[in-house]
Amino acid sequence: MKVAQLGSGTPEVAVLAGVHGDEPCGVRAVERILDERPTVERPVKLVVANEKALERRVRFVDEDLNRAFPGDPDAKTHEGRLAHRLGDELEGCLTFSMHSTQSYAEPFTIVDSVSETATELCQRLPVMAMVETGEFAEGRLITEAETIEVECGQQGSETAAQNADRLMRTFLTATGALPGDTVQRELPVYRLTDVIPKESAETYEVFVENFTEVEAGETFAAADGDEQVAEESFYPVLMSSNGYRDVFGYAAEKLEVLDAQTAAD
């Protein structure tokens, strides 16, 4: 784990990259801002989490770090021990954790529950949706520290790296660490309602778009040609054919669309 800081004092804002070793976008954003060392108006902690997995370009060494929280100093796994240290390091910090996916190119945020802070901030970021994990947050950092996770785009893409940079700077501006203004945008809010399991198979297919409603009776995926049909309508989130080992992704409901800020009367 690499920890650095911009500005002096005790940071209450943190940027986190490299929770998953095969998602380099956030690491590039952190390295770039560390090279630039901009003047900040409040201190910022910068953390690159799983250096060992990043070196090997794998998601994790022993287990998924984002399912290993709260962790333990004596854990048998590298990620179990790292989760514990990371939890300590980020204590008291509002944390912006950058990820990328195999499922969707447009950035969106993931939060544990929709707190006022999270809502206010997410509306100021260039994202197309906010997803509330609800009961599906077990083992995530989200449950340990106040965290906004952001999916920056397709894993390994140049666009995801550019998005990560822009998202991180907007987050730092919205929290008052970097100078400037942000605008409040319209923001759809979703909540996860179910996992969509996948049977062990040779080939997987997904026929639907994330964040586009799947109707009851629609065929949304297949495992070795075995079609899966929706029993009721849902919004697919983080859904991809090969993104996860044992699930296609999640089903979500659309809660509301938050309004853009209108000019003061």
Q: Which stretch binds Zn ion (CB under 5 A): 19-27, 49-57, 102-110, 119-127?
A: 19-27
The answer to whether 59 contacts Zn ion (rule: CB under 5 A) is no
Q: Which stretch binds Zn ion (CB under 5 A): 82-90, 96-104, 155-163, 256-264?
A: 96-104
Residue 138 or 227 with smaller CB distance to Zn ion = 138
Residue 15 or 177 with smaller CB distance to Zn ion = 15
Q: What is the 3-state secondary structure (H, E, C) of the chain?
A: CEEEEECCCCCCEEEEECCCCCCCHHHHHHHHHHHHCCCCCCCEEEEECCHHHHHHCCCCCCCCHHHCCCCCCCCCCHHHHHHHHHHHHCCCCEEEEEEEECCCCCCEEEECCCCHHHHHHHCCCCCCCEEECHHHHCCCHHHCCCEEEEEEEECCCHHHHHHHHHHHHHHHHHCCCCCCCCCCCCEEEEEEEEEEECCCCCCEEECCCCCCCECCCCEEEEECCEEEECCCCEEEECCCCCCCCCEEEEEEEEEEEECCCCCCC
Residue 101 or 170 with smaller CB distance to Zn ion = 101
The answer to whether 20 contacts Zn ion (rule: CB under 5 A) is yes
The answer to whether 124 contacts Zn ion (rule: CB under 5 A) is no
Residue 158 or 232 with smaller CB distance to Zn ion = 158
Q: Which stretch binds Zn ion (CB under 5 A): 92-100, 169-177, 207-215, 240-248?
A: 92-100
Binding site for Zn ion (CB under 5 A): 20, 23, 99
